[in-house]
């Protein structure tokens, strides 16, 4: 059996303008001080990482790795969550998502999409230059405004949306194949790929592309009331990345899954720091280990209550406590009788 690697930390929620969160050297040192041995890198944050240089220069990538390694940190993956979101945007969200894009393409959906595709392609090339084999992203969404429709969806609307989503992603997936890197779509509300069935709809349209894989984050399944352990049984062959994030769903007589337009702190479904929510991480780590997942356990801190630095430090210890050192022998080996085929046939009454 293979073992999960970790703990690692997704840096997106921690990067900032103040030390130690404003430079690559200082944030990796801080992560190591918190107990992490790996970091997942938001490719859009120029305070930490220069995507253009990383795509063009292996020397720059070696420098990035060298600084991290000097601090006891491995680069686990790059992320293009923000850029991947912009590969497919329904017009209803144009204004909301414009802030994810470079200033020169804002207000121009066609130019913004072209920029986003180029960004994801560059991140895949940079991943290759860094020696990485998996990459995190969002799928974007064309059909999401119609997730719970009234009036009913017209026939063919969803199919048209997924056909177009696949058309946009197929060339990017082919580039991922050329780079030897899996694109791991975070299955996430707000994306057209938000549960197992929607992922299957996409996968069918990209002809089961070997690089169209999953980022598994159980917190998003808790908030959908989806069986996140059975999900591993179904999709373990496609799960290539793991966000360790907790959540809770506490429905009341006033609100449930949709949250009544409330702030995060007042929703029935909330993200929590590790150990403070309802996710069965013992079951998850066992399932992933059972199926030979050998990727990284990456803490993604998102909590409506706890301070992020406390969540980060506690998260490292939480993951360490759940890591499984895989056994090299069966527990009942001591009782083995050392039989052979002839003995087996006698035991079956065949001789």
- State whether the Cα torsion 17-40-75-284 is positive or negative: positive
**What is the structure's pLDDT at 339?**
78
Query: Which of the following CATH numbers is that of domain 5-347: 3.90.400.10, 3.40.50.620, 2.30.110.10, 3.20.20.150?
Result: 3.20.20.150
Q: Are 239 and 288 in contact (CB under 8 A)?
A: yes
- 329 pLDDT more than 80: no
**What is the structure's pLDDT at 270?**
97
- State whether the Cα torsion 257-272-16-240 is positive or negative: negative
Tokens representing 42? 């938001």
**What is the structure's pLDDT at 334?**
63
- 124 pLDDT more than 70: yes
Query: Does residue 350 sit in helix, strand or coil?
Result: coil
- 121 pLDDT more than 80: yes
| pLDDT (mean) for 244-265 | 97
Across the chain, mean pLDDT equals 96
Query: Using 50, 70 and 90 to split pLDDT, how confident is the model at 107?
Result: very high
Provide the strand spans (E) within the chain: 5-10, 38-42, 74-80, 134-137, 182-186, 212-216, 239-244, 246-249, 269-272, 296-299
Q: Are 38 and 6 in contact (CB under 8 A)?
A: yes
Q: What is the pTM of this model?
A: 0.95
**What is the structure's pLDDT at 335?**
65
> Whole-angstrom Cα distance, residue 225 to residue 233?
17
């Amino acid at each position: 059996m293979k073992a999960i690697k970790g703990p690692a930390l997704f840096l997106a929620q921690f990067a900032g303008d103040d030390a130690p969160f404003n430079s690559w050297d200082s944030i990796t040192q801080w992560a190591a001080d918190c107990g992490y041995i790996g970091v997942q890198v938001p490719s859009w944050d120029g305070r930490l990482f220069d995507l253009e240089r990383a795509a063009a220069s292996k020397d720059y990538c070696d420098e990035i790795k060298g600084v991290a390694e000097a601090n006891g940190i491995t680069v686990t993956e790059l992320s293009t969550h923000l850029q991947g979101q912009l590969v497919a945007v329904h017009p209803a969200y144009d204004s909301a998502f414009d802030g994810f894009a470079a200033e020169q393409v804002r207000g121009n959906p066609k130019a913004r999409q072209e920029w986003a595709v180029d960004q994801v392609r560059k991140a895949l090339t940079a991943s290759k230059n860094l020696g990485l084999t998996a990459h995190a992203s969002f799928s974007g969404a064309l059909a999401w405004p119609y997730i719970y429709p009234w009036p009913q969806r017209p026939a063919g609307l969803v199919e048209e949306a997924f056909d177009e989503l696949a058309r946009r992603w197929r060339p990017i997936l082919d580039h991922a194949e050329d780079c030897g890197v899996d694109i791991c779509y975070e299955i996430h509300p707000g994306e057209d790929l938000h549960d197992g069935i929607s992922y299957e709809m996409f996968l069918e349209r990209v002809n089961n592309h070997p690089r169209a894989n999953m980022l598994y984050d159980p917190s998003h399944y808790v908030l959908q009331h989806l069986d996140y352990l059975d999900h591993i049984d179904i999709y373990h062959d496609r799960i290539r990345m793991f966000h360790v994030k907790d959540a809770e769903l506490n429905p009341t007589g006033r609100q449930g899954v949709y949250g009544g337009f409330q702030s995060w702190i007042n929703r029935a479904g909330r993200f929590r720091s590790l150990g403070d929510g309802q996710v069965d991480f013992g079951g998850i780590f066992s399932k992933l280990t059972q199926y030979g997942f050998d990727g990284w356990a990456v803490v993604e801190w998102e909590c409506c209550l706890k301070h992020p630095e406390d969540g980060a430090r506690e998260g490292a210890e939480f993951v360490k406590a759940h890591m499984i050192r895989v056994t090299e022998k069966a527990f009942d080996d001591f009782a083995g009788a050392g039989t052979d085929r002839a003995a087996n046939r006698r035991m079956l009454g065949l001789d």
